[in-house]
Structure 1
C-alpha cells in the first residue's frame, strides 16, 4: 500500500529511550523552542525535548488564525516581533520548599479578579504544579460553564486511555465476491481528499488483481452511534459528528475556524472517494449507499490519522471542536462505551476519576465545550494541568505543549500585544461563549515555579472587556514569587 501523508507530516515526537518517553521541563526565554519568523525564542512553560509543536509551522509562517469560536480576526501579514521576556531560571534549579507568599499573591489578584468586565460570577484556582499546593482560590470548587477550556479534560482523558501514539484508521474493504467496496469510517475528522485518493489507488490495485474494473460503493459509519447533531447545530463551529468525514465537513478550503459545514459529511466523503476511484480507472456503478462492511470483507486500503498527540495539540491550539468531539468518542470506544455524546460523557468522567482529580460537580455534556450544560471547577482544570506536568506521566505532556502561547499561536495569537508583559510567557486554553469567558493554563513565576491556573467567568456582556481582564490575571501570575 502507498504511504499516506497526514496533515501532521512525519512524526517527530519525543522518542522512546529504553522503552520510556523522555521529557525535560525547562523555562525561560531560551527554553521553550517556539521559533517565530523573527527568530525569537521565548519561554512559555514545559517543553518536551524534541517535541514537534503543532502550531510551530503556523507561527513561523505568520499564521494568525484564531480558533473555532474565539476572538476577532487579526490582520494578515507578518507581525512585529515582540520584545523578548526576561530569562527565567530552569525549573530544576528551583527550591520548591521555599515559603510561598500566598498573601502577596492574593493581594495581587484580588483587584484584578474584581474587574467588572469579567461579569457577575468569577471562580479561580492557582496551584504549584510541583507540590499540588493551592496558592490562590476563589470558588475553586464551584462548578462553572467552562466553554472550550473543557477541551483540557477531553484531551487528558483521550491521552490517558489511548496514549500519544494512537492513530485513527479509515479503511476500504472489499467484499468476498469483489463486487462491493465499503469505505469504513473510523472517526478521523482530519481525513483529507489526498488521503482518499491514495486509498482509491490502493483499492484500484486490489481490484485489478481480481480482474475487476467496476464495483458498487458503500460507506460504513457504524463506529459512531447516537445523535450526529450537536445541540447547537447547525452551526459554523461544528459539523455533524460522524465516523466518516473529509476536512471536518467543511465545504470550502479552510482548515480551521468557523466555516460552512455540509449536512451530509459521510455521504460527501463517499462521493469524493467514488470520484477518486474513477480517476484510478475503476467504474463505480450507482450512487454510494450507507451499509456495514461484510464481516468477511478484506481490507485493501488504509489511511491512518496523525498520532493522537498531534491531534490533541491541534485541538487545543486552534480550539478545534470537531477533533475534540472525535477525541471524546475515541475515548468512549476504548473504554467500551457507546461512541455517542452520552457514552463519551461516561468514558471521560470515568477515566478522569482514575487520575484522582477533584470531580465533584463535573458534567461533560460534550467534548468541545459548545454545550452550556458542561460544568467543571477551576480546581479540576488546574489538577489536570498538574497531572500533565507530572514527570511520571509523560504521555499527558501534549496537553501542555498544545496550549496556545500568548501573542504567538492559536486562540491567544491575537490577544497579547507584541510588547505586552505576558507575551510568550503564558500558555493557556481559551474559552468563549456568549456571557462566558475562561482561561486555563500555565505560567512560570519569578522563582521558576510552574503554576497552573484556571479563571472561569460568567455574566459578562462584552468579551472585548472580559478577555483583557483574564489576560491581566495570567500576566500578573508571571510577575509573582519574587
Structure 2
C-alpha cells in the first residue's frame, strides 16, 4: 500500500476550548506574549480525558471495536514489549489520531527519563512562542574605537556569515578613514552558562557547549563567544584592518553605531535541523530565546516554565508526571511519560497546527534515512524484524545511558496513521540490541512485522 501524505486525512473532530476558554487564552497571551498563530487554544484530547493511561496489559479500547489489523497489532505489542532486551521498565502508547482512540497503553503514564525526546516539547514551545518565521539577528556595532559583535542566539551562524559581517564592517571603517580597531563580543542576551540539574561536567563541551548567545560554526569550545570574536578579528585583519589587543567581552553601548547585521534562516528551518539530527546545542539555545520572548529570564528554569505553560495552556496537553530541567534531554532528572510524548506528537497531526508546528513533523527522522538519527550509520531498522519498516517510520530518537526512546508516526497496516511513543529505562542489554527491539515495536505498529 503506498504511503498516504504524512498528515492524517479523514474526519477530524474539532476539540472545543471548553469552559473558560477565553479567559485561558487571555491569560496565556498576557503571560507569554505569544505571537498570533493559526492554532486555536485546544482542550485536553480524548486520549487524555476519555482514555486513562497507566494500564499495564489492559484494554484502553474497551467499549470500542477494533479492526482486525489493530487487534493483531495490539496482540503483537503485548507479546513484544516484554522482550528481555527492553528490560522491565517500559512505557508505551499507540494512538489513532483520526478517531481520537488509544489503541494500546502499557504503563503510558509512568514517569520515565525521555532523553532527546524532550526536544519535541522544546520545539513545540519555541515555534509557538517565537513563530516559525522568527529569525535570529547577529549584529556588529561601533563605538569608542571598538567593533562589538553582538550575539542574538543564532546557533547556526557560520564562518561565511561572519566573513560577510566582517566585509561590511571593513568597508564602513575604511570609508570613515579608520584602519585600527578594538574588537569585543557582547553575549549578554543570555546569563552565565550553567549546568542544568541532571547534567554532569563531562557534557561540556562535547555533548553540549556552555550555552551562550554567540557561536560560530557550532564550535564545541568552552567559550563560544570569545571564539567567535577571535574568528571575526582574524577576518578583519585579513582585510587590512589592524586589531588592537585581544578580543574582550563587553556589553555594547546602547548608542553605538550599527555597522552590519546577519539574519538566520527561519526558525522552522532551524527546528527541522534540530529534530533531524537531535542537536543539543540548538535545543538549549531555543529554550533560552523562548523564555526571553515570553518575558521570562533566559535560564533553564525560565525556559522550562514556558514549555510547560505552552503545552498545558495553549494545547491542553496534560502534564501529570512531566518534569524537565533542560531543552535537549541531556538531563538525567527529566521525566516524561510516553502518554505525554504521544499527546505532543498528536498535535502535529491536527491540520490547524500545521502552519506553526509543521517543521517538527517534517523534521522527524525517517527509518533508514542517511544523515538522520534513524540512519543506517546508527544501526537503525537493519535487523530481520524491523528492516521491513525502512522508509515507513517517522520518529524522534532519544539515547542516554540507561534510557532509550522512540516516538513518532507510522502508517498502519490498515492505511491509517498511528502515533506511538516508547521509552525504556534501566535495561542492562547492549544499547544496539535495545534499539533493535525498539525499532521492532515501531515495525509492529506499522504492521509490516505482523
Please, what TM-score do these two structures have when normalized by structure 1? Answer: 0.75
Per-residue Cα deviation, 1:96-122 (whole angstroms, up to 9, x for no partner): x98556544321201110111012200
Alpha-carbon distance in 1 for matches of 2:388, 2:157: 39
CA distance, structure 2, for counterparts of residue 109 and residue 164 of structure 1: 36
Aligned-partner Cα distance in 2 for 1:357–1:272: 44
Counterparts of 1:140 and 1:295, CA distance in 2? 51
Match of 2:45 in 1: none
8 Å CA contact retained: 2:388, 2:448:
no
Is the partner of 2:388 in helix, strand or coil?
Answer: coil
Question: Please, which of 322, 339, 360 is the counterpart of residue 362 of structure 1?
Answer: 322
Secondary structure of residue in 1 paired with 2:218:
helix
Q: Is contact 1:145-1:374 (8 Å) kept?
A: yes
| 3-state secondary structure, aligned to 2:153 | coil
Q: How does 1:136-285 map to 2 (within 5 A)?
A: 136-175=104-143, 177=144, 179-229=145-195, 231-232=199-200, 233-249=203-219, 261-285=220-244
> Mapping of 1:323-472 within 5 angstroms?
323-353=282-312, 354-394=314-354, 395-409=356-370, 410-414=372-376, 415-417=380-382, 420-461=387-428, 462-472=430-440
Whole-Å separation in 1 of the counterparts to 2:155 and 2:102: 38
Deviations 1:158-190 (A, max 9, x none): 111112111111111112x5x111100111122
Structure 2: state its 5+ residue gaps: 9-63
Secondary structure of 1:397's aligned partner: helix
The aligned counterpart of 1:305 is: 264
What is the DSSP-based 3-state SS (H/G/I as helix, E as strand, rest coil) of the residue aligned with 2:399? strand
Quick check: 2:408–2:420 contact (8 Å CA) kept in 1? Answer: yes
Asked if 2 retains the 8 angstrom alpha-carbon contact of 1:426 and 1:441, the reply is yes
Give how far 1:208 is off: 2.4
- For the residue of structure 1 that corresponds to 2:262, the secondary structure is strand
Q: Identify if the C-alpha distance between structure 1 residues 298 and 352 changes in structure 2 by more than 3 Å, giving closer, same or farther.
A: farther
Q: Please say if residues 170 and 188 of structure 1, whose CA atoms lie closer than 8 Å, have aligned partners that are also in contact.
A: yes
Give the Å deviation of 1:227. Answer: 3.0
- What stretches of structure 1 move > 4 A for 4+ residues in a row? 97-103
Match in the other structure for 1:109: 77
Q: How does 1:63-74 map to 2 (within 5 A)?
A: none
Give 1:406 shift: 0.4
1:222·1:243 contact (CA, 8 Å) conserved in 2? yes
Distance 1:132 1:327, change over 3 A: farther
Q: Is the 8 A contact 2:440 2:449 kept in 1?
A: no
Deviation at 1:471, TM superposition (A): 0.5
**What is the distance in 2 between the residues matched to 1:103 and 1:416?**
24
TM-score, with length taken from structure 2 = 0.80
Q: 1:173 to 1:235 in 2, by over 3 A?
A: closer
**CA-atom RMSD, angstroms?**
2.2
Offset, 1:278 = 1.3
Structure-2 separation of matches of 1:442 and 1:140: 16
Change over 3 Å in CA distance of 1:481–1:466 after alignment to 2: closer
Deviation at 1:412, TM superposition (A): 0.7
- 1:256-296 CA-to-partner distances (Å, cap 9, x unmatched) read xxxxx312211111000001111222221111111101111
Aligned to 2:94: 126
- Offset of residue 226 of structure 1: 4.1
Query: Structure 1 pair 117/400, CA: closer, same or farther in 2 (3 Å)?
Result: same
Superposed CA offset, 1:365-415 (max 9, x none): 111111111111111111111111210112201111111110114111121
Cα displacement string for residues 132-153 of structure 1 (whole angstroms, at most 9, x for unaligned residues)? 3211111111111000111111
Contact 1:226/1:339 (CA < 8 Å) preserved in 2?
A: no
| Corresponding residue pairs, total | 382
Q: Is the 8 A contact 2:271 2:359 kept in 1?
A: yes
Q: C-alpha deviations, 1:291-330, integer Å up to 9, x for none?
A: 1011111221111222111111111111111111111112
Structure 1 residues 228 and 182: CA distance shift in structure 2, 3 A? farther
Partner of 2:34: none
CA contact (8 A) 2:321 2:335 kept: yes
Query: How far did 1:229 drift?
Result: 4.2
**CA distance 1:286–1:116, change in 2 (3 Å):** same
